[in-house]
Amino acid sequence: MALHLAELETAIRQALTAFAADLGSCGWHGKENDCVNRFAHGFLLPPCGESSWLRHPTQIGIEVGVPQPPGVATKASARKDLVIWPEPWMSCWDAQWAPVNQPAAIMEWKVVRGPAAGRGRAHDHRWLAAFAKWQPDFVGFSVLLAAHRAPGERLLVTRFRGADVEDAWLWL
């Protein structure tokens, strides 16, 4: 059973909403990698199971390689913050170490701890837009977490699917 993008988007929206509510109530603080790990282990994995959109924990990769979209960079692969594979035990690599397997979703995160804008976010948007146009069975998310902001303006997520870019797909 391959991941269906609509079901995946719904599950990610629910997980991000719960993640944002948790951050607003618990007083926890963390940098980008801490937030990615807290989100993945605390909010993506719990519904994991045979009847779920996420059947096995190995469908989630943190800081793993994915193929580069054509014309974006000279390297054949790039490392991304959080990757969701359509099947368990996947990676992007074949037996010759070529990046050939495509993820179902990629989440690129930026965590801002002060009033500065999310540096690198424009690059993430260009990259995710190029990947989404290249791979029609894919959805990408650019997550901006402004840790210093109050709930309601703390988490901004842009969604990339095909040629569609939805800037405030989720804003909490």
Q: Is the pLDDT of residue 1 over 50?
A: no
Q: How far apart are CA 36 and CA 155, in angstroms?
A: 13
Distance CA 64, CA 18 (A): 24
Q: pLDDT value at position 25?
A: 79
Quickly state the pLDDT bin for 98 (edges 50, 70, 90): very high
Domains, the chain, ranges and CATH?
5-171 (3.90.1570)
**To the nearest whole percent, how much of the chain has pLDDT over 70?**
93
Do residues 141 and 157 touch, judged by C-beta distance below 8 A? Answer: yes
Where are the strands (E) in 68-136, listed by range?
77-84, 105-112
| Residue appearing with tokens 């990610």 | 12
Between residues 100 and 23, the one the model is more confident about? 100
Which phi and psi (to 5°) does residue 70 adopt? -55, 140
pLDDT at 101 over 50: yes
Walk across the sheet containing 155-161 and list its strands: 60-67, 77-84, 105-112, 139-146, 155-161, 164-171
Q: Residue 152: its pLDDT value, please?
A: 65
pLDDT value of position 48: 87
